[in-house]
Amino acid sequence: MDFTKKVVIITGAGSGIGAATAQLFAAYNANVIVSDINLDQAGLTARDIKKSGGMATVVQTDVTQFDQVKALVTDTVTTFGQLDVMVNNAGIGGKHQLKTAEHDHDDWHNVIAVNQTGVFYGMQTALQQMMLQGQGAIVNVASLAGLKASGNNLSYSASKYAVVGMTKSAALEYGRKNIRINAVCPGFTHSALLNQLLASSDTMEKNLKRMIPMGRFGEAKEIAEAICWLASDHSKFITGQTITLDGGTSL
């Protein structure tokens, strides 16, 4: 894959899947805008990219704030003249693992704001620019929890089901505009979110791996590879799809 002269924004690029995706796009010669609410973490990702000879720009962005997301896209276009790929990756999990009747309201509002509203803002602002250009690709990071039931995880599950639905609806709307919109749905993948889940119980890692036919967790770079492919010319006839990367868990 080659993204030479392409401009790519990745939200939540300071760690995990976002960082791996930023590094991989840069390895494919893209000009990468590393966006994250944590400026220090974003800086580390950009530093690693530049050490490897890639191109990276750091922009601090809170995806729950529309003005900041709009500025992210506007400033990118002002600087580089275009936006070819938008990866809406920023996401969080709830702090508590509780059933619906006891679900924490702060968790609900925070998770929905980042995972659902943040993706909406990212898609909307990117689409406005891509419409002007007449082309573009958007990849949203959903989850296996957006395809199948996930107990004690209502806000996260609701937000990821929403990402899948928004992806399909927007893809339907913009398919004739040369703009493709797809999503990846990772299963249990090494990340801060997985670490948080594993810390909740001494037996959690063993229990989770028992549900994965491949017997291991995913790696962030494996998800990044699918994201890059969906954004590339190698998938030009694909839109409105969700690619599940879960080691067979959904089976």
List, in order, residues 6 or more apart from 242 with CB less than 8 Å away.
142, 146, 147, 164, 167, 182, 183, 184, 185
Q: Give me the catalytic one of 28, 121, 156, 161.
A: 156
Element containing residue 168 per DSSP (H, E): helix 154-174
Question: What is the Cα–Cα distance from 225 to 213, expressed in whole angstroms?
Answer: 21
Whole-angstrom CA distances from 8 to 55, 87, 152, 188 are 11, 8, 35, 26
152 and 145 Cβ atoms separated by less than 8 Å: no
H-type alpha helices, 56-145: 66-80, 105-111, 118-133
Tell me the residue type at 133.
Q
Q: Compute the C-alpha angle 163/169/170, nearest 5°.
A: 90
How far does CA 129 lie from the centroid of its chain? 19
Question: What is the Cα–Cα distance from 48 to 106, expressed in whole angstroms?
Answer: 35
Tell me, yes or no, if 156 is annotated catalytic: yes
Exposed, middle or buried by CB within 10 Å (0-12, 13-18, 19+), for 65?
middle
Catalytically annotated residues: 156
